[in-house]
Each structure stands twice: as structure tokens, then as C-alpha cells.
Structure 1
Amino acid sequence: MHPGITEVRDWFERQGWEAFPFQEAVWNAYLEGKSGLIHSATGTGKTLAAWMGPVAEALAAGEATGPVDREDAPPLRVLWITPLRALAADTAASLQWPAESFHLPWSVELRTGDTTQSVRAKQKKQLPTALVTTPESLTLMLTREDATELFSDLRLVVVDEWHELMSTKRGVQTELALARIRAFKPELRVWGISATLGNLRDAMETLLGLGREGELVQGVVGKPVVIDTILPTNIDRFPWAGHFGTQMIPRVIEAIDEGGTCLIFTNTRAQAEIWYQSILQVKAQWKDVIALHHGSLSREVRDEVELGLKSGRLRAVVCTSSLDLGVDFTPVDRVLQVGTPKGVARLLQRAGRSGHQPGVPSRVTCVPTHAFELLDIAAARNAALAGKIEAREGVNKPLDVLAQHLVTIATGTGFRAQDLFREVQCTQAYKTLSQEEWDWTLDFVVRGGESLRAYPEYHRVVLGTDGVYRVEDADIAKRHRMSVGTIVSDEALNVQYLKGGKLGTVEESFLARLRPGDRFIFAGRPLEFVRIKDMTAWVRRASSVSGAVPRWMGGRLPLSSELALAIREELERAGNGELASPEMKTLGPILELQARWSAIPALSDLLIERVETREGHHLFFYPFEGRLVHQGMAALFGYRISQLVPITFTFAANDYGFELLAPEEAPLEEAIAKGLLSPENLGADIVASLNSAELARRQFREIARIAGLVFQGFPGMNKSAKQLQASSGLFYDVFARYDPNNLLLRQADREVLERQLEQSRLSRSLGRLSQSNLLITHPKRPSPMCFPILVDRLRETVTSENIHDRIEKMASQLELEAGDKIGAPDGV
């Protein structure tokens, strides 16, 4: 056995631990010079698996000489990349402790957007032995002219939570950065860490680059996970989103009261604010032991909450995905999931926040906010137990990220065109990058492309007489360093008390609707809006919580394809009379009425309901493919039917299906016969059925920012979202008119189809539906399954009366027509 590993094992024994076989496998692989991917359940020691290899290497080399001054510590040896700044401090502490225990003279530091200027100044002179950083900060390091020397002693790069990065442009940014470092250090070892991922081999190949061998190390994957549900005591047969959410508050309080610390996960920040307030309205005495945590709160507020969790001071925290990842909260012994989890991996990831230590089972208790979420929960548990975890796909060839990368390298060491082209082609994201696409992107950063040649400010990169491309203008280099990154969102304004500290950020689009004196809830506090000045929304405390809750963009998570399939399978079993789980038994009366009035679709069926009401003629389709797919499908079907007869539709969609509403009856059978369900001509029909040009124009804002066309401004002088949209819109219009072959325009079209409409999944869905058995029913009144879709449409259109009262009246009338009121079934 390697002598360093012997010392590490002895240290584990002194802590009262025993090293897992997967941990030792990673240590040995690292010491043999190998790279790879670690896949293990949350809380099973993945961090130590990746870290103790370098420690063992140092111990075997006799480096345990005791602490030294920072300046005397070894230069950068380990680079640890984390997707969230919130994880960095905990990760650094986890690395520091073993190094100090072994008396290694190493320095361990952070480098994120929160790092102080004094620390940055020290790091500019000398980097620590181990640096925990983000993809953006790593990219900034590549803008240094001495980047080659900076990484000269680097031996290992660890990419934490790789599954969160690889399917985003930040993942592509990481791929490019790793390719650049490997050009400096061909022998570099790279290890990824992941907890919940379906396509492990693909993930490893994306991380390591094309043609590089790696070790896939499977750890403790089968950690016990308990998934249960707080069942409603009464259930309506005509459910709608949120209709018994507050009914569940007392049951949630009982769950929190059972002991320990509890995380209450919601899927949106607005929902987190609502549930936090709702719990406090019942348990006002919990004011000091319950907290709120989401990504729009200030760093100081989040730090205080995380500290309260670690110390055990807090009983419960209502949170979003901001606490999904890696922060180690050992005291947490209960996790609640409000609403549908939307994905199997997300549910398991959140379950892993509890029992976050080896050998301790994880538990997640789901809290449905309407009846059909019971179906989602039962399906998610079945899929989780069967190991059906979602795959993550990388982003293919985003030229905006490539353009940013070219300017990054030109700002730093500079590059020779063909050398960097070959380097970029070694990444999974750009393996199909053509010479034409490369030449176009290079011309774009050198001369601004066809449309911007006459404007010197877009001539960012210059070809020197030595054949090396560099950024020579200091102002261009400065602006680029301030714009590095791929995270683009609706411009957020700071929210700050007139007399007091910052609370966090809220999107400008929400604040723009407020007038002085309006009240809203944010950071768990009732606030009164005063004014906007200097990119800050100034507020004062309000006397009550009555008011609006901020709405953030992208609030509704998409339903994963794995969970969608599990839901269809669960429904087929229910149609055959199999109601095995407590959730499905509770849902039984609703499904019985659905079968009586319409039908329960089998796995091979496409259920279509024709319903006529005073509103008109409704068509309800149930593909069970998720809201995003259904929105695209609704527009597509409406367009295809309208090509047969002149007809105007109103659309509505949820995760189960969608509605087409028209004043007159639609020729459904004729449309089906003429290819309504066909995946053929999908691209052209989607473009024709939607205002795709406007969607692409909006998507271009992100591309323009990442590609460096739009500068967001210097600190304290940021441009508003409206200014940025206007600037990017102007570029879009100029390119569309004078440079229609601009590859960034094509990218905008592609991203709209894939990211906003999930065209690939839509195409696969149509392929399945075109082969399905068509189950067309004619209910005399809205069925339980169509009622939530109908309600969603009313919420968007009805403003003249209280929408809640109107929906309750509709549901009550349908209940009367259905028969006796129901409660929970016996034995549940």
C-alpha cells in the first residue's frame, strides 16, 4: 500500500471512521496519475475522496513540516471548482481541516465574487496551495498574462457538483477553461464529483475532454432514502394548484415539531416567501427559530441562516434550490418538499440534505399543494427506487461562449488561431465545430463580423506581427474582465432599508410596477416601497404582511422526462385497479370519477377530451410530457388545425396536458387524419405557430451579453434591464437586416426552440403520440383531470371578480353533480 494512504487510513481511524472502498479507489487512481468521476450519494464522503489523494501524495513526499507563513506555502497545487459561491466557504473549511491535522504547510483560500480586495491583492502576487473558486473566477485567472506560470505547479482540478454545471453554458465555460489549463499542463489530473446523475459515462467524457481515459468510481449509491407524504385529510375531486396548500400548514408544523432541524424546500422563491409567512401566522412564537433562504437574499442574510443551521439554533428553514447543493448541515434530520418535485434527481438531492453523514438514512416528506401532486409523488418514489435518474446533456456549440473565450485568452497569454482551434475541438461541446464556424467567430471578435466592421470598439482582438492574437486596448481588457461569465438574468435591483442594511435583490420588472406606498413581502418581511434611486429600491418596514409577493422569472420548473414516464406508468396501474401506495389510495376517488366521466389513459393511449361549456368548445389533450412541451404542442396543434379551417384558439397548459378553446367546434378527426400528431415539418410549423422572431429577439439579449456585444456597466453604474434589452434588440435588428447569416442569430433561434420549447423532446413526444391509441371521450362537464388546466387559463384572464371565489363556485357545482362529498379513504 502507498505510504501516504497508510497515514490517511490511520487518520480516519483516529476520527472513528472507516474509509469507504470508493474513497480508497479514488486515492489510488489519483496517485497513479489518473483522472475520473466520483459518483456517490450525498453525505458519503465525496469531498475527502477527491482531497485525500493530494494529501497522501504530500505525506509520502515528507511535506508534513508544520505550519508556515502564507508566502512560504507551496504554490497552487489543487484547484477546486464549485458551482455556487455559497458552497465555497464550507468546502474550504473541509479541505483546511485535514491539511492542518497532518501539519502540511499548505494554504487554503477562496476566490469568488465575494472575495475582498485585500485577499485578491495577495492572490495576485501568489496563489494559495489549494484554491476554491467558481467557473467565472477561474476564467478571470486565464485573462492574466502570466497564466502559464500561474498553473505551472498545478496537479489536480476538482469540479464539484458536476451534474449541476454540465448541462449549462457555465459547464461549457468550465470545459474550455480545463482545455486551456491542459494545454499548459498535459499531465493534469481532473476529477469530477456528482451525487445524482443518470448518464455517468457521458458526464465523465464531457469533463475530461475527447479521447481522454478516466476512472468512473461508484461510491455509496444505494444509501437508504425514505420518501413519504403528508396526506390531506379532505380531498376535492376537482383539484387546482394551491387549493389546499394552506390546509397543509398545521400538518407541516406538526412535522417540524417532531424534532431536530427541518428544511422546507419549495420550487420557487415566491412560494418560499408565502410558506414562510404562512407558518409564522400560525406559529408567531417561532419568529427567532425559523428562517428564509433563497438566491435573491443578500449574502449576509444567507450566511446568517446557514450559520443558524450549522449551530442548531434554527428549527426550520424555508428554502429553494439555494440549499440543494453540498453545504454540510449535519443537524438537519428532516426535509419537506412542498409541491411536486418535478424530477427524480431533484427529489433525491433534496432528500440527501437530511442524514448528511455516512450510514444515516435520508428522509424527504412531500407536501402536496393539490391532489394530483399525489400522483407525481408516488411516481417519483417508484422511479427513485428503480434507479431511474435523469440524464444531463451538455450544451452543443454555443458560439457566444466561444467568442467570450477567445477574448479571454487574447486578454491573457494570447493565442495562435489553429492551435486554439484544435484545443477547443478537444472539448465535448465543440467537437463538431467546423473551420467555417471557427473562422466566423474569430472574425467576429477581431473585426466585429460583417455588420460591425466600421466600429472600432468591436475590434477587440488584434493579430500581431508574430502571428499571435491579443487584446491590446486596456479599456477593452477591463470591460471584458468585468463581463466574464454566462449567468444572465433579468436585471435585479438591490432592496435596502432607508435606514439600515441590504435585504437582497428583486427583479426590476417587478419593482417597476410598484408605486410609492405599495406593500410587498420580501426576505420574510412586510415592506413598503419608497422609491428607486441609484439602482436600489429603497423601502421601509410595513405594519402588516398584506401586499404582493415578488415574482421572479423562470419560476416554474419543467417536469423531467423520467418523471413524466413514471406518471404515465402509475396511471396505467391505476386504470387497472392497482392503487398500492398511500398517495394513490388517497387519490382513488378522484381517479374513479375521472374513469366514470371520461377515461384513465393507459401507457399506450393519448386521451383527448371534447367538452362543451358556455365558454365554447374545449379540446383537452393529455400527453403527460410537462408544461414546456405542452405549451409548444398547444401552439403547434392550434396552427395545424387552423390551416384546415379558419379558427382562433385560446391556449392553456400544465404538466399533464393542454387545452384548446374555440368559439366553434374544431375538426379534430380531420386534423388527426392530415397529420396533427406528426413530427414531420415540426421546425417550420413551430416557427409559423409562434411569434418565434420576438422570442429569438429576447433570447438574443443573453447571447449579446455573453458574446461581449453589450456591456452591463461599471459597478454602481449598471444599465437597466430595459437598456440592455434595447441595446441587444438593436443588434438583433441590425444583424437580421444586414447580416442574416450571422451565426449568433442562428444560435438564438436554436436556443428558443431547445430551451424554451424543448423541440427535441417535443419531436420525441409527437413520435410517441403518433403511434398511440387515440382515446377520444365526450364528457358532459369538465373532468377532474381537465379542471386544473381550465383554472390555470382563468387565472390568466379573469380580473373582474375574485378568482378564488369563482373557482370554488365552479368546483362546488361539479362536486354536486358528481355525488357525495369524499374524505380520505379508510386505512389511509
Structure 2
Amino acid sequence: MRHYRTVTSALDLFSVPTRDWFAETFGTPTPAQEQAWAAIASEAHTLVVAPTGSGKTLAAFLWAIDRLAGRAHDAAADRAGTRILYVSPLKALAVDIERNLRRPLAGIADAAARAGTPRPGITVGVRSGDTPQSRRRALVRTPPDILITTPESLYLMLTSSARGTLTGVETVIVDEIHSVAGTKRGAHLALSLERLDLLTPRPCRRIGLSATARPHEEVARFLGGGAPVTTIAPAADKRWDLTVRVPVDDMTDLAAPASSPTGAGESTSGPGEGTSGPGEGTSGPGEGTSIWPHIEQLVAALVDHHRSTIVFCNSRRLTERLTARLNELDAERRGVEVDRQAPPPALLGSTSDAAFAADGHGAQFARAHHGSVSKERRAAIEADLKAGTLRCVVATSSLELGIDMGAVDLVVHVESPPSVAGGLQRIGRAGHHVGDVSRGVLVPKHRADLLHCAVTADGMLAGAIESLSVVSNPLDVLAQQTIAAAAAAGTLDVAEWFAAVRRSAPFTTLSRSVFDATLDMLAGRYPSDEFAELRPRVVWDRDSGTLTARPGAARLAVTSGGTIPDRGAFAVHTLGEGATRVGELDEEMVYESRVGDVFALGTSSWRIAEITHDRVLVTPAAGRAGRLPFWHGDGPGRPAEFGAAIGAFTRAVAPSAATGAPGD
């Protein structure tokens, strides 16, 4: 039996080892932690909305960890199966959380040993799309106490024999919940959570975490479905240091010399000039019509003046190109000759691999981090940045959400962030710890972009986060989850499944007639003969009110997991024994490539050795200039509210711009 002191503060809710470890490590809890623990202790579904660096992730985990530690002391307790399920929207974030969990687990174990109580042997596992099959089998044989996964992997587990390891789940933590709540991916996750509740003896306690959720009521509705949710949103005291820095003195005269690489200039008119990519135009500032040499020099100077910097871009192609140029500028500053071979520099990747090897340097000045870089390379880049051996990482949204990158001094954003919420997430990577100031510099690439940067910065300081709304009744998601639920259950009760679907927020307004029409389609009852060639996936026995999966339905369900569309990407692997995954390329890029071509990916050059039906086999081509890859549909969309804010700002400043009078 566990004994607690009279509760006078949030820490008094915990056992002595947990309380002692937290007090020694952090001192006092943050307001978000105090309020979250009180709500979670009451068994309520809880949504925690607090700025980056407020300790909300530990707030969610610590209560559940403390209960697991107490159960470990009871020899009679049934600990078989997973008890805590953490769902991350990003595979990289899942790995980061697993790494950061080791600190509190080890600290609490040491505190328990000092207090003379048994050390709790709490285990942690990760299952995502990157998890090898052998490791997945091991997770089924020996389920961890804490499982970290993604929405898609959770769906696959619920549809396979691995669902047996989830019958004891008590707490589900959904991190960065705002990133999925307003999407079909979120609707897919909502049904997975309802399927999980059908497996467990009692509904799981759900905890949602976000720094930029708005409106709170809508996100809370998504989290709880038909159950009430307690929202914790303490007054934010996060401090921001934001600067919009123009890389030239006059954006209407790009040939004029800039006053300094870190100076700022004025802009006066519309878009269109000097918007080509890094490396295009002339080789140095003040000698052409491209703004990119000025941007490159500015970013390089900012990186030089800080110990650790993340540079965000809005596309993978720009990430690769800017990384290449930063490495070339660094090599030039150190007097290392850079080989500029045809094609033109604008199309080249980094040529500095050989330069660094020849110069005795073991690391590059900057490295690229995005979704088309393999998980091994991304992990190595993240580790180097945290360790302080890498000065700069150029990234897309792959580093936007919640990943603790250690002591990052500065975030530079080239181009306007895609939204106010996205800007807060990205700039929040700097000063990620409690009480730190998040410092960011927004660098516009043309005159219209300057306006967008100004609106974004103003919205970030005002906390004007774009609102979201839960997707309503996506029937393709319903059809997929219905097939999966029937395949997993063997025989699925239609009434019970309809009730579970209606409990999820995206389907609260689903009518029985639309639900039945969806089942008709899955069972082969089509509106005309034109659909006769489609194979039914389930058998609907209307007399008994049950669904039974047809042969092949289970395989279809697990090979079509998630709602992320297939982008036709080709995996890139090294050739020979011990082959490793390098990343991925767009299928059109592969179609235009030939064996022997050299391309840049992940700040390294690769020569194509073979192209198969689904992958590209490569060998290293260090020091060779490589063609930069491209990906279609790479740019982010703009929320309607952000567009409206830009329009309002434009209307406000247009009269003063026309008359030359100073604006209000």
C-alpha cells in the first residue's frame, strides 16, 4: 500500500521517490503541471494547452509513471500488457519522447533505491513505420509498460494480433493534438481510440497536449468524443524575441550593396523580383538581380554568431539548396577550394564532402533535415545538434512539433511561416526549456513575403493562432475502419459499432441511414451495375445484426493503413551488403534520372547504380556536385484566417504607401 502526505501542493499527490526526484531536478512545478496533475488525478479526460517549454509532456507522463511505479512494488499486481499509450503525430517525435523518458525513469528508480524501496522496472517501447519487423514481434511477445507509437501504427496494432497487448491500457496521451484534430488523419485516430476503448475493461483516460490549440472547446471535443474533458490552459508567460530582418537595404535595387550581412532594409512594393533559389544569380552580394546571395550571407552570419541554430524552410528542395550553399560559404571562408562543376550552382547539391574530409573536419557546417531523409540520418543529425557538434540544421516541418533539440540559441525562418501556429511551433524550438526566451529571425525572400513575415510576427506576439474545426463524417475513413474492425473482431456487432462510431467527435452527427449505406457499399450492395466489378469486403447479416470480414479483408486493412496519400515516392538505399536507407525521391524525379547520375540528398552526394520498380540503389559520391532533387506538392497551404489577416494588413497600409505618408 502506498502512503501519501496531506495534499498541500501538486507534488503531494505523488509517491515519495517521484516527489523527491522532481523536487531535486526541477524544484517547483509550472502552473501547467500543477493544474494538469489535479485534473488527471480526478480521472478526467484532460486537455493541456501551454506554450513550448512549459513542461506539459512531463505533466502528462509523470502521473501515469508514478502509478506504474507503485504497481511495481506490489508483487500481486498484474502488469502484463501496455498500460500507457503515447500517440505522436511524428515518428521523429516518438523517438525523441522515448529518449527523454529515460531521464525521469532512471531518476525515480534512483530515488526509490535511496528511500529503501524496490526500484520500479518500468519498460518503454517504440513502434512506428520505422520499427523493424523483428522488433515488432518482440513488442508483442513482451509488451512494454509504456508504448510510444503513431496514429497509423496504433491502427495496425488494433487490426492485427498485437491488439492483445493493448487490453490493459489505462492512459492514452495524444501529443501535438492540434496537428491532427482538424484533419481526416485525426478522424482516423478518433475511431482508433474508440476501437481501443472497446478492447479495454473501462474507457482509457485521455490526455491531449498542445501549444497552439484553438479553439479549446473544439479540440477538447475531438479528444473526448462523447465524454467531458477538463481543459487546462494557464495564462501564458512565454517570452518571445522576434525580428523580421531584410537581407538588403533596398529590395527594389538588389544590385546595390547591402550595408552589412546582418543589417535590415526597407521594402516598398510588390513581389516577383529576385525570387530564384539559393546559389542562383551571382556569386556574391551586390552583383546581380537575385536576393539569394544576400540571404545566404545573412543566414551564415547569424549561424556564426550563435552556438546552435535551426534554419526552417517551407520545402524540402529549398532545404537541400540552402544547406548546400551554407556549406560552400563555410568552406570558402576557411580557404577550402569548392569544386563548382556543371550544371550551374543553382542546381547543385553540396560539394563540400571532400573538402571537409581533406581539411580534417569531421562534421559539416550545416546539415539538411526533412521527411525524405532516412530516420537513421535524422537521428544522427538531431544527436549532433543536441551534443553541440553541429552548428546548424536546415529543416522543414520535420522539426516543427515538440522535439526537444536541446539548447538551441536561435531559429531562423527563411520565408514567412505557413501560419501563425506554425511560426510559434518553429520559433519555439529555441528556448525550449521552462523560463527560456525563444529567439527567432524571419527572413523574407521578396517584398510581398516581407508583408507576410510582418503579419506572422504580429500574430505570434498577439497569440492570434488560427482556429480549427473537426472534420465531419469522412465516410472513406469510416469504411476503412469498419473493414479493419470486422477483420480484427471476426464478428462485429453492428449496433455496438455504430454506437462507438457516434461517440467519436468526427461522427457525432452521423445518421443511421448514412451508416447503413456505407455498410451496403462494403457488403456489395451497389446502386448500379457499373460497380459490380468491385469486390465486397464484408458480409452483413441483417437478421443477426453482425458484420463478418470476407477473405482478404484483413490483409487489405493492414496494407492500407492511415489516410496519408501515396506520393509515389521511391526509397533510396545504398548498394551492397549492409545496405541502409538514405531517404526517398519523388517518382517524377526518378523517371527523369538515369544510372550514373549524381544527386544530393541529406547534404551528401549519391551516384545512381540501379533503378528498380520501387527503389533507387546508390553509392556514395563524396565531393561530386549532385543535382538537387524535387518533390511535388511540397509547399504548405495557408489557413484562411492567415490569408484574411494579410488582406486586412494590406488594406490598412495601402493608403499610406500610395501617399508616402507614414503608416499608423
TM-score range, shorter chain: 0.7 to 0.9
- One-letter code aligned to 1:427: S
Q: Pick from 65, 87, 91: which aligns with 2:97?
A: 91
Q: Pick from 273, 279, 295: which aligns with 2:326?
A: 279
Shift of 1:452: 7.6
Q: Pick from 396, 401, 405: which aligns with 1:329?
A: 405
Q: Pick from 493, 509, 514: which aligns with 1:432?
A: 509
What is the identity percentage for the equivalent residue pairs of Structure 1 and Structure 2? Answer: 30
Corresponding residue for 2:286?
A: none
Corresponding residue for 1:525?
A: 604
Corresponding residue for 2:261?
A: none
Shift of 1:498: 4.4
Is 1:198 matched up with 2:214?
A: yes
Q: Pick from 538, 547, 550: which aligns with 2:629?
A: 550
Corresponding residue for 1:5?
A: 14
- One-letter code aligned to 2:151: P
Is 1:264 matched up with 2:273?
A: no
CA-to-aligned-CA distance 1:604-646 (integer Å, 9 cap, x gap):
xxxxxxxxxxxxxxxxxxxxxxxxxxxxxxxxxxxxxxxxxxx
- Structure 1, unaligned runs of 5 or more: 578-590, 604-828
1:816-827 to 2 correspondence within 5 Å?
Answer: none
Q: 1:453 to 1:469 in 2, by over 3 A?
A: farther
- Give the whole-Å Cα distance in 2 for the aligned partners of 1:43 and 1:178: 27
- Give the whole-Å Cα distance in 1 for the aligned partners of 2:623 and 2:141: 52
Q: Is the 8 A contact 2:402 2:425 kept in 1?
A: no
- Give the whole-Å Cα distance in 2 for the aligned partners of 1:456 and 1:339: 47
Determine helix, strand or coil for the equivalent of 1:36: strand
Is 1:231 matched up with 2:246?
A: yes
Is 1:502 matched up with 2:502?
A: no
1:590-601 to 2 correspondence within 5 Å?
Answer: 591=657
- One-letter code aligned to 2:647: R
- One-letter code aligned to 2:444: P
- Give the whole-Å Cα distance in 2 for the aligned partners of 1:342 and 1:189: 33
Determine helix, strand or coil for the equivalent of 1:335: strand
Q: 1:109 to 1:517 in 2, by over 3 A?
A: closer
Determine helix, strand or coil for the equivalent of 2:321: helix
Determine helix, strand or coil for the equivalent of 1:382: helix
- Give the whole-Å Cα distance in 2 for the aligned partners of 1:428 and 1:441: 18
Corresponding residue for 1:18?
A: 28
Q: 1:525 to 1:57 in 2, by over 3 A?
A: closer
Shift of 1:494: 1.7
Shift of 1:396: 2.0
Aligned residues: 578
Is 1:371 matched up with 2:447?
A: yes
Corresponding residue for 1:719?
A: none
Is 1:480 matched up with 2:557?
A: yes
Q: Pick from 273, 288, 291: which aligns with 1:244?
A: 291
Q: 1:455 to 1:465 in 2, by over 3 A?
A: farther
Determine helix, strand or coil for the equivalent of 1:337: strand
Corresponding residue for 2:85?
A: 79
Determine helix, strand or coil for the equivalent of 1:503: strand
- Give the whole-Å Cα distance in 2 for the aligned partners of 1:317 and 1:453: 51
Q: Is the 8 A contact 2:430 2:439 kept in 1?
A: yes
- Give the whole-Å Cα distance in 2 for the aligned partners of 1:218 and 1:232: 38
Q: Pick from 229, 237, 244: which aligns with 1:214?
A: 229
- Give the whole-Å Cα distance in 1 for the aligned partners of 2:201 and 2:236: 33
Is 1:511 matched up with 2:567?
A: no
Q: 1:277 to 1:496 in 2, by over 3 A?
A: same
Shift of 1:469: 1.7
Corresponding residue for 2:343?
A: none
CA-to-aligned-CA distance 1:171-192 (integer Å, 9 cap, x gap):
1111101122233444421110
Q: Is the 8 A contact 2:501 2:507 kept in 1?
A: yes
- One-letter code aligned to 1:283: D
Is 1:255 matched up with 2:302?
A: yes
Shift of 1:254: 0.9
Q: 1:119 to 1:490 in 2, by over 3 A?
A: closer
Q: Is the 8 A contact 1:520 1:549 kept in 2?
A: yes
1:633-782 to 2 correspondence within 5 Å?
Answer: none
Q: Pick from 537, 541, 547: which aligns with 1:459?
A: 537
Q: Is the 8 A contact 1:338 1:367 kept in 2?
A: yes
Q: Is the 8 A contact 2:572 2:584 kept in 1?
A: yes
Shift of 1:16: 3.9
Q: Is the 8 A contact 2:610 2:617 kept in 1?
A: yes
Determine helix, strand or coil for the equivalent of 1:221: coil
- Give the whole-Å Cα distance in 2 for the aligned partners of 1:191 and 1:142: 20
Q: 1:94 to 1:501 in 2, by over 3 A?
A: closer
Q: Is the 8 A contact 1:88 1:132 kept in 2?
A: yes
Corresponding residue for 1:489?
A: 566
Shift of 1:294: 0.6
- Give the whole-Å Cα distance in 1 for the aligned partners of 2:509 and 2:312: 40
Deviates more, 1:27-36 or 1:448-457: 448-457
Q: 1:456 to 1:280 in 2, by over 3 A?
A: closer
Q: 1:452 to 1:113 in 2, by over 3 A?
A: farther
- Structure 2, unaligned runs of 5 or more: 1-5, 109-118, 253-269, 277-289, 335-351, 357-362
CA-to-aligned-CA distance 1:331-350 (integer Å, 9 cap, x gap):
21111001111311111110
Q: 1:154 to 1:516 in 2, by over 3 A?
A: closer
CA-to-aligned-CA distance 1:557-582 (integer Å, 9 cap, x gap):
223333333333433443454xxxxx
1:275-424 to 2 correspondence within 5 Å?
Answer: 275-284=322-331, 288-289=363-364, 290-413=366-489, 414-424=491-501
- Give the whole-Å Cα distance in 2 for the aligned partners of 1:308 and 1:72: 41
Shift of 1:384: 1.7
- One-letter code aligned to 2:547: Y
- Give the whole-Å Cα distance in 1 for the aligned partners of 2:500 and 2:582: 44
- Give the whole-Å Cα distance in 1 for the aligned partners of 2:187 and 2:568: 23
Q: Pick from 168, 171, 183: which aligns with 1:153?
A: 168
CA-to-aligned-CA distance 1:646-696 (integer Å, 9 cap, x gap):
xxxxxxxxxxxxxxxxxxxxxxxxxxxxxxxxxxxxxxxxxxxxxxxxxxx
- Give the whole-Å Cα distance in 2 for the aligned partners of 1:167 and 1:316: 33
- Give the whole-Å Cα distance in 2 for the aligned partners of 1:62 and 1:111: 24
Q: Pick from 138, 142, 145: which aligns with 1:129?
A: 145
Determine helix, strand or coil for the equivalent of 1:276: helix
Q: Is the 8 A contact 1:382 1:566 kept in 2?
A: no
Q: 1:560 to 1:125 in 2, by over 3 A?
A: same
- Give the whole-Å Cα distance in 1 for the aligned partners of 2:626 and 2:168: 57
Determine helix, strand or coil for the equivalent of 1:15: helix
Determine helix, strand or coil for the equivalent of 2:159: coil
- Give the whole-Å Cα distance in 1 for the aligned partners of 2:533 and 2:395: 47
Corresponding residue for 1:162?
A: 177
Shift of 1:96: 3.7
Of structures 1 and 2, the larger Rg is shown by 1
Q: Is the 8 A contact 1:461 1:469 kept in 2?
A: yes
Corresponding residue for 2:156?
A: 140
Q: Pick from 39, 64, 67: which aligns with 2:49?
A: 39
Deviates more, 1:309-318 or 1:6-15: 6-15
TM-score (norm 1): 0.65
Corresponding residue for 1:30?
A: 40
Q: Is the 8 A contact 1:76 1:128 kept in 2?
A: yes
- Give the whole-Å Cα distance in 2 for the aligned partners of 1:514 and 1:58: 54
- One-letter code aligned to 1:207: L
Corresponding residue for 2:285?
A: none
Shift of 1:55: 2.9
Determine helix, strand or coil for the equivalent of 2:507: coil
- Give the whole-Å Cα distance in 1 for the aligned partners of 2:95 and 2:622: 37
Determine helix, strand or coil for the equivalent of 1:444: helix
Q: Is the 8 A contact 1:448 1:459 kept in 2?
A: no
Determine helix, strand or coil for the equivalent of 2:439: strand
- One-letter code aligned to 1:109: G
Shift of 1:222: 3.1
- Give the whole-Å Cα distance in 2 for the aligned partners of 1:272 and 1:431: 41
- Give the whole-Å Cα distance in 1 for the aligned partners of 2:78 and 2:43: 26
